[in-house]
Amino acid sequence: MKKPTPLIALVAVFIIVLSCTPDNVAPHPMVGLWQIQKIFQQGEELPLDDCALLTTSEFRSDGVFLERRFSMRVLGCSLANDNGIWTDTGENRVRIAYDNGNADFQNIKFTIEGSNMTFSDGDGSETFAVILKRID
């Protein structure tokens, strides 16, 4: 019987090491489905109707951003879908770019406390703040 060559042994060890490497890297804390709770502009809370409160934003681990935005119409709630990409730019800041070109946020600060996430101006000007709640 032949003895295994060193190359075959090395390949076997390499396969064993790769199979033991954990595939579960913790996702970014923003990854998940979030529902709108409150919006502030210039420090004043904006009124949100029942339809607006159905609005959700989903941040996927592959950088895709999906938004389901509801608004009040005469016959009930109307749905508009938007999508784009989001990128963590470091220091609790993100860039969100919509595929349709309607919005492009370069320097959004995010803070996550428990199941709530707050988006605000990255420059500290407090022009706006959006509070979302994790629902999945």
Who's near 117: CB < 8 A, 6+ residues apart?
30, 34, 110, 111, 131, 132, 133, 134
**Mean pLDDT to the nearest integer, 107-131:** 91
pLDDT, position 17: 43
Q: What percent of the chain has pLDDT over 70?
A: 81
pTM exceeds 0.75 for this model: yes
CATH code for the part of the protein at 7-134: 2.40.128.280
Average pLDDT over residues 38-56: 95
Who contacts 5 (Cβ-Cβ below 8 Å, separation ≥6)? none
Please report, as a single letter, which amino acid is at residue 106: Q
What is the average pLDDT across 66-95?
94
